[in-house]
Amino acid sequence: MTVEPMAAPGADANGVCPAEVALDDPRLRAWRAFLFAQAAVLRELETDLVAEQRISLGEYDALVQLAIPEDRRLRMSELAERLVISRSGVTRLVDRLENQGLVVRSLCAPDGRGAYAVLTEAGLLRLRDAVPSHLRHVEQHFLSLIGSADLDAIERAMTNVAQATGRCTAQLTSGLAGRLELDAALAESRSHS
């Protein structure tokens, strides 16, 4: 079967472009595989986390991001940036977490403009309770399906993409493991498998 080429970005109004890309181009196959895998895994993780921990993946991710800084606080705009959602979206998310007593807001000093989202002790405990379940499902739906050499390649590739877009992934490794005892949680999640 012959696959018709599609217009590459930069085509003019008549569809004439400097290059054409076939629909079965390996680059597009890799992109589609990434999109489908990401969507499928995120759906599974969301379903599992809500069923077992009664917390959404977005809420969980917000708690993780707030647990990373030593003072367990982030400006609302920084939290929105890390979660890759709009400011209004982060406001609604923090509202839900605040209603559950997991997060509080505080004014940014000294100018009083803007607000911090601050992880409460209850929020930290809630996160600690959810980590083993989440990690078990990450292992089940993602890590166990990929060989260690491929995991290294995926990490390098996605780190390069994140850094090129200005979204550095280094923030995810800065001291969080010690505070949440993630190694112990991962070991516990594997023992339940």
Question: Looking at residue 21, what is its pLDDT?
Answer: 65
Tell whether the model's pLDDT for residue 38 goes beyond 60: yes
Query: Strand pairing partners for 118?
Result: 73, 104
Show me where the domains of the chain are located.
44-191
Question: Looking at residue 73, what is its pLDDT?
Answer: 93
From 3.90.640.10, 2.60.40.10, 1.10.287.540, 1.10.10.10, which CATH number describes the 44-191 domain?
A: 1.10.10.10
Question: Looking at residue 17, what is its pLDDT?
Answer: 55
Question: Looking at residue 62, what is its pLDDT?
Answer: 95
| Residues contacting 77, CB < 8 A, separation 6+ | 87, 114
Question: Looking at residue 101, what is its pLDDT?
Answer: 97
pLDDT tens string 130-154: 999 999 999 999 999 999 899 999 9
CB 45 within 8 A of CB 60: no
Look at the chain and count its residues: 193
* Amino acid type, 189: S
Euclidean distance between CA atoms 159 and 65, whole angstroms:
17
Backbone φ/ψ region at 61: left (φ over 0), alpha (ψ -120 to 50), beta: alpha
- What integer best gives the mean pLDDT of the chain? 80
Nearest to 72 by CA among 111, 107, 123: 123
pLDDT tens string 44-90: 999 999 999 999 999 999 999 999 999 999 999 899 888 877 778 88
pLDDT band at 172 (very low <50, low <70, confident <90, very high): very low
The pTM is what?
0.74
Tell whether the model's pLDDT for residue 102 goes beyond 50: yes
Query: Strand pairing partners for 22?
Result: 5
Going by DSSP bridges, is the β-strand pair 73-75/115-119 parallel, antiparallel, or unpaired? antiparallel
